[in-house]
């Protein structure tokens, strides 16, 4: 029998991220990381970082870093919040804004961390089924809600919604906070940052992990009205004042200031994505029209779990979700052209053999 004290331990089912294999020479297309290194300006910033300064706490307000982000978006520093990856920013936002007795709502197929935070923070929630085409219907979010959270583009579907959709969502949800998770937006989605001036209850969360190749640095941020950002700051300062470390701020500032490199690498990923999408379709796959750095694909004649497992034996890691509605799909992160050529070669090999 367990000891009585174990009864008081919080029992949760954690989020499971894409596998980080220790194997060498694998082609890693399973965690939506960027295949390109960060900007050379980041290398320089980290190399020249004054380590002696690490004896001091970082600037708790992350003032200079927030200013750099604000400059990029032509907004004010007071409209920016920074955290330790957008998971950290989202978790804090759930705690800060979702305190109603009414359930918060999000799509049934979406980022699987949302229900995990709801369980952890005891936030009631309900899900709205995506349409048969995997699109989100704004009319499903009309009822009174305790809050709304939607990734745009959505993950793992890769599909994005436009300005009209967001405006509708905001019209329906005037009495709660609406969070739009824009982790993948830079790869071709519509960004609602421009709408944060119009809607005081709209919060956008973003990350340096995808389009800025800094997943290992753990930097995320939120953009919203001064009121929302001040509330986030207050909760953060009741929990951990120094979320973003000094090296991360130096690297993040260098990355956001290098627009040219950002545009170049994002374009490369998009170009490769479009090529791979066409190739997969030629091979008989159905592939959704992605606005992200990954593809969601299925094949009518093949078992996607078997395909995923075959690729793994060939050292090509993609993602398979054993979940209702999406268990006949795989999610493929876009790698370099060379990596994707190997992926396509192994895919052809699989189709010929099974
Ligand atoms: N939102 C979505 C939709 C994601 O897929 C991810 C990446 N797993 C995140 C947020 C979090 O990214 P990060 O914590 O690296 O910023």
Q: Residue 8 has what pLDDT?
A: 86
How many angstroms is it from 250 CA to the middle of ligand 1? 21
Using alpha carbons, select from 207, 202, 159, 199 the residue that is nearest to residue 182: 207
> Which residues pair with residue 80 across a beta bridge?
223
How many angstroms is it from 288 CA to the middle of ligand 1? 20
Query: Which residue's C-alpha comes closest to atom 6 of ligand 1?
Result: 183
Comparing 13-17, 123-127, 202-206, 312-316, which segment has the lowest mean pLDDT?
13-17
> Which residues pair with residue 207 across a beta bridge?
220
Beta-strand relationship, 147-151 and 178-181: parallel
Distances from the Cα of 125 to the Cα of 48, 178, 268, angstroms: 46, 14, 38
Using alpha carbons, select from 112, 138, 140, 119 the residue that is nearest to residue 128: 140
pTM of this structure: 0.96
Look up residue 20 and give its two tokens. 């980080």
Q: Convert the pLDDT of each residue in 137-161 to its tens digit.
A: 999 999 999 999 999 999 999 999 9
- What residues flank ligand 1, with Cβ below 6 Å? 85-87, 111, 151, 155, 181, 183, 207, 209, 215, 220
Q: What angle do CA 25, 30, 35 make, to 5 degrees?
A: 65
d(CA 49, CA 158): 37
Using alpha carbons, select from 198, 164, 193, 197 the residue that is nearest to residue 180: 193
How many angstroms is it from 260 CA to the middle of ligand 1? 24
| 350 has a pLDDT exceeding 90 | yes
Q: Convert the pLDDT of each residue in 231-264 to its tens digit.
A: 999 999 999 999 899 999 999 999 999 999 999 9
Helix, strand, or coil here: 172? helix
The residue whose CB lies within 8 Å of the most ligand 1 atoms, and thus the one to mutate among 157, 209, 222, is: 209
The residue whose CB lies within 8 Å of the most ligand 1 atoms, and thus the one to mutate among 14, 16, 86, is: 86
Look up residue 250 and give its two tokens. 């130096």
How many angstroms is it from 56 CA to the middle of ligand 1? 29
Mean pLDDT across the chain, nearest whole number? 96
Longest dimension (CA), the chain: 61
Q: Residue 37 has what pLDDT?
A: 98
Q: Residue 134 has what pLDDT?
A: 97
Q: How confident is the model at residue 21 (pLDDT cuts 50, 70, 90)?
A: confident
**Mean pLDDT within 80-102:** 97
d(CA 195, CA 187): 19
Q: Residue 89 has what pLDDT?
A: 98
Look up residue 352 and give its two tokens. 């010929």
Q: What count of residues does the chain have?
A: 354
How many angstroms is it from 350 CA to the middle of ligand 1? 30
Q: Residue 1 has what pLDDT?
A: 59
């Amino acid at each position: 029998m367990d000891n009585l004290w174990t009864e008081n331990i919080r029992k949760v089912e954690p989020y499971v991220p894409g596998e980080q294999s220790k194997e060498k020479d694998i082609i890693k297309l399973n965690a939506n990381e960027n295949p390109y290194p960060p900007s050379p300006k980041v290398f320089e910033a980290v190399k020249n970082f004054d380590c002696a300064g690490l004896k001091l706490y970082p600037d708790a307000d992350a003032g200079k870093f927030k200013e750099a982000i604000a400059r990029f978006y032509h907004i004010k520093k007071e409209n920016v919040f920074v955290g330790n990856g957008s998971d950290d920013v989202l978790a804090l936002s759930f705690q800060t804004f979702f305190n109603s007795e009414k359930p918060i709502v999000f799509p049934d197929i979406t980022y699987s961390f949302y229900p995990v935070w709801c369980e952890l923070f005891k936030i009631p929630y309900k899900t709205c089924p995506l349409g048969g085409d995997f699109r989100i219907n704004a009319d499903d979010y009309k009822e009174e809600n305790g809050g709304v959270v939607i990734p745009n583009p959505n993950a793992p579907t890769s599909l994005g919604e436009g300005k009209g959709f967001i405006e509708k969502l905001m019209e329906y949800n005037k009495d709660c906070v609406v969070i739009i998770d824009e982790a993948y937006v830079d790869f071709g989605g519509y960004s609602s940052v421009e709408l944060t001036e119009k809607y005081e209850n709209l919060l956008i969360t973003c990350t340096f992990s995808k389009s800025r190749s800094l997943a290992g640095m753990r930097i995320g941020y939120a953009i919203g009205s001064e009121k929302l950002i001040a509330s986030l700051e207050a909760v953060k300062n009741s929990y951990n004042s120094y979320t973003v470390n000094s090296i991360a701020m130096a690297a993040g500032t260098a990355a956001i200031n290098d627009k040219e490199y950002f545009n170049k690498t994002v374009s490369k990923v998009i170009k490769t994505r479009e090529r791979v999408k066409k190739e997969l379709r030629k091979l008989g796959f159905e592939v959704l029209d992605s606005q992200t750095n990954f593809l969601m694909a299925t094949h009518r004649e093949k078992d996607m779990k078997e395909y995923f497992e075959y690729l793994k034996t060939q050292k090509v890691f993609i993602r398979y979700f054993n979940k209702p509605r999406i268990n006949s799909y795989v999610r493929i992160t876009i790698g370099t052209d060379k990596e994707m050529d190997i992926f396509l070669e192994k895919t052809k090999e699989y189709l010929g053999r099974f």
